[in-house]
Amino acid sequence: MKKLTLSVALIVALGAISCRETKKEMDAAEDKIENAAEATKDAVDDATNATGEAVDNAVNDVKGATNDAVDAAGDAVDSAKDAAENAVEDVKDAAGNVVDDAKQTATDAVNATEEKADELVKDAKDALK
């Protein structure tokens, strides 16, 4: 019986040691799992923040490009408007010049006709004398 008692005591002792070692291993594994979970959470948080910043930057870049395009379009419209106004003024000036030239030509023709008529009248009077 002594042998049996000693054998049982040895089995119990080995079981207790084995349980302690298993508990230590389980505690160590639990710590590793918690550390891995925390590291994963931190990595996800960092990735989320980086993604948010990237989206914000992209939105700001698009807003800036849109504002630049709107400004450029406004400048193009203003330039086109100025060019059209200048063209209208040039056409008015050219038309005014044509009218002035036509008036001068008509005045010159009237004066030349009057002079010719005066000469013909004078020649006719001289012929009658």
Q: What is the pLDDT of residues 73-124, one digit of tens each?
A: 999 999 999 999 999 999 998 888 888 888 999 898 888 898 888 888 888 7
**Distance in angstroms (rounded) separating the CA atoms of residues 73 and 79:** 10
33-62 burial, b if ≥16 CB within 10 A, otherwise e?
Answer: eeeeeeeeeeeeeeeeeeeeeeeeeeeeee
- The pTM for the full model equals 0.45
Task: Judge residue 63's burial from the number of C-beta atoms within 10 Å of its C-beta, 0-12 exposed, 13-18 middle, 19 or more buried.
Answer: exposed
pLDDT value for 10: 54
Please state the three-class secondary structure of 49-87 as a single string.
HHHHHHHHHHHHHHHHHHHHHHHHHHHHHHHHHHHHHHH
Q: How many residues does the chain have?
A: 129
pLDDT band at residue 51 using 50, 70 and 90 as cut-offs? very high
pLDDT band at residue 22 using 50, 70 and 90 as cut-offs? low
**Distance in angstroms (rounded) separating the CA atoms of residues 103 and 60:** 64
